[in-house]
A = this chain, B = another copy of it.
Amino acid sequence: MITGKNYIGKELSSKGSNTYTTFNPKLNSDTEWTFHEATKEEIDAAVNKAYEAFKVYKSFSGEKKAEFLIAIAEEIEALGDPLIEAYTKESGLPEGRAKGERGRTMGQLRAFATFLKEGSWVEATIDTAQPDREPMPKTDLRKMLLPIGPIAVFGASNFPFAFSTAGGDTASALAAGCPVIVKSHPMHSGTGELISSAIIKAAERTGMPDGVFSNLNSSGIEVGQQLVLHPKVKGVGFTGSAKGGTALYKLANDRKEPIPVFAEMGSINPVVALPSALTDKGSDWAKQYAGSIMLGAGQFCTNPGLILGIKSTSLDSFIATLGAEIEPLEPTCMLHPNIHKNYEKGKQELSGQGGTNVVAAYESDVAPNVAQQKVLTVNGSNFLKNPKLHQEVFGPFSIVVRCADAAELEQVLNKLEGQLTGTILGNAEEIKKYDKIVDALQGRVGRIIFNGVPTGVEVCPSMQHGGPFPASTDSRFTSVGTSAAKRWVRPVAFQNWPAAALPDALKDENPLGISRLVDGKHTDAKI
């Protein structure tokens, strides 16, 4: 049942008088749920509980934290159909997507559990003592990653499950040993509350300290700001707009004690179609890209918003096919009227830029909040001189740039800001032939793809979801995949520390059986 209350640890709480409702974009009307915005006192209570919980939770074994994460996945599954109904109501996304994303979210939690059980991720590094070394003896030194403290998580509008309440940021922080305070996304606070109830159940069932998780309702920016400025909050995870992410990043940097903000802010994900891709497989790629642009009403941070090619008749036919393929596709409902309004505004602004031509535009009447797709084309020189065309339009929108030659294409890439992904379509020989283009693209992205589409982000150790600014605020870390846990830890070295008092990961006997760097060698052996 959705109560509209906050979770301050395991306590449901609704002390504030400010309320808001969520919205059903398909019905174009409010849902039946009313939420109590968290008060300053409730925020403070949640952070203080998290701070106290940290003192215990940080020392729990990987096994114990893994049990908790697995229990969360089980409790999410146990929520059954009401959860799927809340999701589809509050997001306008179809049931199939809801179930797929729920599966992904549970899969993520289980992947972190496996990662914790394996345990080597703490980067245990040991240099044993050399008491006879000349001119100075060398003392015993052992280092490992330890959790930093309570983390504030800001969920994404476009992934109510996988990048929200129990999504990658929460799962990775809990895996790292950090309590989490979620600022619920105002577009899907009901879904968030149900998921929160599952986390709280799992926490109680597996003996976690009260305060290991809290969920705060919020319709504006105040709750988030207070969280980021709270001295006991030690890190922030965010998925959303560049504007929101950058604001939090600045806020956190200006604290007396600055804290890390991992904001994943999306990008236009440039795709370079090299000549062979267009001559040999142009219509295949056109079809695949029509689907990729339309996926989830284009509401993905990996949506291909920019396709680059070198002027040729095969580029012309690719563009014509892309237009013919995408135009008749049935447009779908966006997450919220505000997102739809921004999409229409962005689309209109870019369509009005000099030198652009329409490739495809869905123009039949649609229901409210449905995103009509559009594809433009422009030549390289116009694109180069107009930074407006480099901006993300969140929705089923893309621009195909016709570059005069390879040099101009390289120039375009060098003008782009940081990106989550970049894609090369072509053959292996072209990677060599167009090495400057490949190199320019690689220097700007977190993930580079060969012959594929950027949508679809695998959850695995080798995933990199995070690119140079402004794709994300810290390109050295990923928000997807098990490495995401490394955002919430810092190394601590123990010098000459008594054997019995060392954390298990650093003990001579290697009781966890993990892979360690011992005197410069990678090994899972005892010392």
By a beta-carbon cutoff of 8 Å, the part of chain A in contact with chain B is: 55, 114, 118, 120, 125-127, 136, 138-139, 141-143, 146, 148, 249-250, 253, 257-258, 260, 417-418, 428, 431-432, 438-439, 442, 445-452, 456, 458, 460-464, 468-470, 473-478, 483, 489-498, 500-501, 515, 517, 520, 522, 524
Contacts and interface: CB of A to CB of B under 8 A. Distances in A.
A126 B464 CA distance: 12
A338 to B, nearest CB: 27
Contacts of A417: 257
Given A458-B141, A500-B428, A490 B476 contact: yes
B501 A451 contact: no
A498 B428 CA distance: 6
Contact of A462 (B125, B464, B478): B125
Contacts of A475: 148, 490
Nearest to A488: B476
A144 B286 CA distance: 31
Contacts of A473: 258
Main secondary structure of the interface of A (DSSP, over half): mixed
A496 B439 contact: no
A476 B489 contact: yes
A496 B445 contact: no
Nearest to A495: B449
A253 B442 CA distance: 24
Contacts of A253: 249-250, 253
Given A431-B498, A469-B257, A125 B461 contact: yes
10 contacts: A120-B522, A125-B462, A126-B462, A143-B463, A257-B469, A260-B476, A431-B501, A451-B496, A464-B491, A476-B489
Given A257-B470, A431-B498, A461-B517, 17 more contacts: A120-B522, A125-B461, A141-B458, A141-B460, A141-B463, A148-B475, A257-B418, A257-B468, A260-B476, A431-B501, A445-B492, A448-B495, A449-B495, A450-B498, A452-B496, A463-B493, A478-B491
Contact of A497 (B126, B450, B515): B450
Contacts of A451: 496
A118 B463 CA distance: 24
Contact of A439 (B55, B458, B469, B478): B55
Contacts of A515: 515, 522
A258 B469 contact: yes
Given A260-B476, A522-B524, A462 B498 contact: no
B464 A138 contact: no
A271 to B, nearest CB: 13
A470 B41 CA distance: 29
A60 to B, nearest CB: 14
A439 B442 CA distance: 43
Contacts of A463: 141, 143, 493
